[in-house]
């Protein structure tokens, strides 16, 4: 009997513990949550900005719709260069986006304006360092990073904010927008800007204009080809050093997703318009902005094969096929420059024809696969040919990623072969896209 009572007492005690535990759990579950901390002004502005950007993107028409609406319009009648110094002539912008060269800024302001802003210049018209803002000092510090010097009107645009440039075109019409730019050393990300024309995004694709960076492989010197890979103790190739190169490049506004072939044209009314570039990612330096008439003979409009042959007919041997011995082999695994640091060479042993090849060592003999499959990526090769004339271009490739799909690559050419007498630059696209 005592055992039975003890058992019942223990069972009652355990049941009581279970009930108390449940009450505690229920009580804690129903306790009111602490009130969220109020947003700061900066967080509220960022949230509002994100919502505004999303609304702008959703409300903007596509380039296809924009193209259909304006394709019947006439091309512009003249090319116009944008004055990059104009935005920096107002008091609110001085020091925010400063030109590298002080002379355009100095000449833009009167003595009275300088005194009102507290700006002093030396006898040569250069801004005194003691009066410069942190942003301007940063600009001058960046100047030492570039080998070819800075242009008089080059402007540094930070990784946030926006800047507006006025432009005046003589007639209504369709125009291309070309920008000479210089990337800022630092991160591996490409530069991205959103374009507004007269305070509105013309079409959704203009919300993400991507300016690629320039990366250069540093190879060992080889007497035969000029480029060679360093090898480890086991004879395996070692990937060469990849460094960011800060050279001037020309970007013509185009679709970074690859769905639109060619360059965007923009309809501009006669008279004054405003181009606004809003930072989405990375700082950048603009050296020149040109608004170019979208005429049929524009260098930014790709010619047909017949038009191309007609053009090159004026050059020596322009319509002559070269001899069979005039052959140049370019090893794809040795690009001189690439668009980003994820484009690299690799080894493939699936075929003995791949060159070079080895049964015991890993030798680089291809480029591509997962490292070269994103729209907008590019690889550039420097090469020479033995004689003038027409060449065929043949490539050996393998495509096995997506069965039933085809692969697309755009080929652009840049030539440094000049005719000293006529000053002619050979090569389609010369002076348009350097790589």
Residue 136 near residue 256 (C-beta atoms within 8 A)? no
Residue ranges of domains in the chain: 46-231+246-293
Instruction: Give the Cα separation of 174 and 267 in Å (integer).
Output: 5
| pLDDT tens track for 31-54 | 455 555 656 666 666 666 566 666
Give 175's pLDDT tier (boundaries 50, 70, 90).
Answer: very high
* Per-residue confidence (pLDDT) for residue 91, from 0 to 100: 46
Instruction: Give the Cα separation of 23 and 98 in Å (integer).
Output: 67
* Per-residue confidence (pLDDT) for residue 156, from 0 to 100: 76
* Per-residue confidence (pLDDT) for residue 363, from 0 to 100: 92
Q: Per-residue pLDDT averaged across 73-88, rounded?
A: 86
- Decide which of 296 and 339 is more confident: 339
Q: Which residue has the tokens 């993107």?
A: 57
* Per-residue confidence (pLDDT) for residue 69, from 0 to 100: 95
* Per-residue confidence (pLDDT) for residue 195, from 0 to 100: 96
* Per-residue confidence (pLDDT) for residue 44, from 0 to 100: 66
* DSSP reduced 3-state for 286: strand
- The CATH number of domain 46-231+246-293 is 3.40.630.40: no
| pLDDT tens track for 188-199 | 888 999 999 999
Q: Per-residue pLDDT averaged across 169-191, rounded?
A: 89
The CA-atom distances, in angstroms, between 142 and each of 150, 157, 193 are 10, 12, 21
Which residue in 132, 267, 286, 314 sits closest to 209, CA to CA?
Answer: 286
Instruction: Give the Cα separation of 383 and 331 in Å (integer).
Output: 10
* Per-residue confidence (pLDDT) for residue 247, from 0 to 100: 78
Tokens standing for 235?
């004879």
Which residue in 356, 364, 355, 413 sits closest to 385, CA to CA?
Answer: 413
Q: Per-residue pLDDT averaged across 237-242, rounded?
A: 91
> Is the pLDDT reported for residue 270 higher than 90?
yes
- Decide which of 21 and 232 is more confident: 232
Q: Per-residue pLDDT averaged across 214-235, rounded?
A: 83
**What is the model's pTM?**
0.69
Give 306's pLDDT tier (boundaries 50, 70, 90).
Answer: confident
Instruction: Give the Cα separation of 42 and 277 in Å (integer).
Output: 22
> Is the pLDDT reported for residue 111 higher than 60?
no
* Per-residue confidence (pLDDT) for residue 224, from 0 to 100: 64
- Decide which of 4 and 116 is more confident: 4
Q: Per-residue pLDDT averaged across 148-162, rounded?
A: 68
Tokens standing for 282?
């990375």
Q: Per-residue pLDDT averaged across 90-107, rounded?
A: 42
Instruction: Give the Cα separation of 339 and 213 in Å (integer).
Output: 6
Task: Rank 78-82, 227-231, 372-376, 414-418 by mean pLDDT and report only the highest.
Answer: 78-82
Give 138's pLDDT tier (boundaries 50, 70, 90).
Answer: very low
Instruction: Give the Cα separation of 429 and 123 in Å (integer).
Output: 44
């Amino acid at each position: 009997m005592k055992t039975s009572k003890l058992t019942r007492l223990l069972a009652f005690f355990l049941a009581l513990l279970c009930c108390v535990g449940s009450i505690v759990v229920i009580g804690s579950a129903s306790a009111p949550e602490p009130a969220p901390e109020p947003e700061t002004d900066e967080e509220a502005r960022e949230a509002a900005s994100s919502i505004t950007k999303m609304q702008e993107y959703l409300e903007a028409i596509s380039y296809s719709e924009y193209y259909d609406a304006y394709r019947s319009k006439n091309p512009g009648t003249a090319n116009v260069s944008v004055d990059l110094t104009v935005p920096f002539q107002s008091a609110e912008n001085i020091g925010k986006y400063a030109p590298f060269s002080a002379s355009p800024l100095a000449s833009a302001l009167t003595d009275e304006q300088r005194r009102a802003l507290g700006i002093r210049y030396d006898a040569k018209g250069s801004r005194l360092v003691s009066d410069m803002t942190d942003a301007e000092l940063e600009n001058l510090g960046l100047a030492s990073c570039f080998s070819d010097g800075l242009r008089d009107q080059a402007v540094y645009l930070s990784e946030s904010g926006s800047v507006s440039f006025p432009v005046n075109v003589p007639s209504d019409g369709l125009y291309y927008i070309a920008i000479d730019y210089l990337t800022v050393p630092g991160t591996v990300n490409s530069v991205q800007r959103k374009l507004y024309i007269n305070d509105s995004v013309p079409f959704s694709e203009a919300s993400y204009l991507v300016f690629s960076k320039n990366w250069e492989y540093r190879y060992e010197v080889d007497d035969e080809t000029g480029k060679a890979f360093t090898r480890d103790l086991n004879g395996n190739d070692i990937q060469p050093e990849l460094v960011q190169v800060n050279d001037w490049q020309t970007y013509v506004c185009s679709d970074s997703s690859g769905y639109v072939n060619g360059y965007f044209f923009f309809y501009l009314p006669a008279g004054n318009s405003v181009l606004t570039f809003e930072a989405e990612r990375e700082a950048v330096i603009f050296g020149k902005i040109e608004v170019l008439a979208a005429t049929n003979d524009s260098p930014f409009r790709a010619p047909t094969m017949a038009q191309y042959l007609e053009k090159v007919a004026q050059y020596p041997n322009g319509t002559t096929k070269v001899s069979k011995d005039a052959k140049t082999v370019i090893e794809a695994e040795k690009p001189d420059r690439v668009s980003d640091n994820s484009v690299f060479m690799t080894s493939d042993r699936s075929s003995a024809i791949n060159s070079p090849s080895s049964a015991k060592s890993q030798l680089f003999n291809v480029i591509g696969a997962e490292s070269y499959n994103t729209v907008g990526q590019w690889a550039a090769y420097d090469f020479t040919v033995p004689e003038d004339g027409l060449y065929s271009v043949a490539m050996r490739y393998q495509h096995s990623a997506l069965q039933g799909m085809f692969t697309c690559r755009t080929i652009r050419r840049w030539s440094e072969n000049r005719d000293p007498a006529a000053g002619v630059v050979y090569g389609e696209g010369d002076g348009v896209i350097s790589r």
